[in-house]
Amino acid sequence: MNPALGLAAARVVIGGCALATPDLGTRLFRLDGPGNPQLPYMTRLFASREIALGAATLLASGKTRRNLVLAGIGVGEARTVDRTTAALLTAPAVAAVVAGVVGAAAGT
């Protein structure tokens, strides 16, 4: 399977899980849900974006699909979590970027 399409499918699955159980996601990524009551709301926003981007990428073709893959490549930096949590959050993001680049290079 093309890595970009695998990434798009994973976005839909991860987004669906995060939308259904936002508290589980905050615990898995060692984020302070009880200390930040807005975190479930932000998790749902993340989930909705992941579902939309993944589904749109899977349904698109040609240049549109390639552009959606490129739109999904983006990593930001914020020093608001400890190193272990940062690693847990960064590893999947880096893997997603690599999959997107490989898929885009392959002509998605």
C-alpha Rg value of the chain to the nearest Å: 14
CA-to-CA distance for 91 and 97, rounded, in angstroms?
Answer: 10
**pLDDT at residue 55 is higher than 70:** yes
Q: What is the pTM of this model?
A: 0.66
CA-to-CA distance for 85 and 68, rounded, in angstroms?
Answer: 28
* Torsion of Cα atoms, 86 then 18 then 65 then 67, to 10°: -40
Percent of the chain with pLDDT over 70: 86
With cut-offs at 50, 70 and 90, classify the pLDDT of residue 59. Answer: very high
Contact indicator for 102, 3 with CB cutoff of 8 Å: yes
Percent of the chain with pLDDT over 90: 7
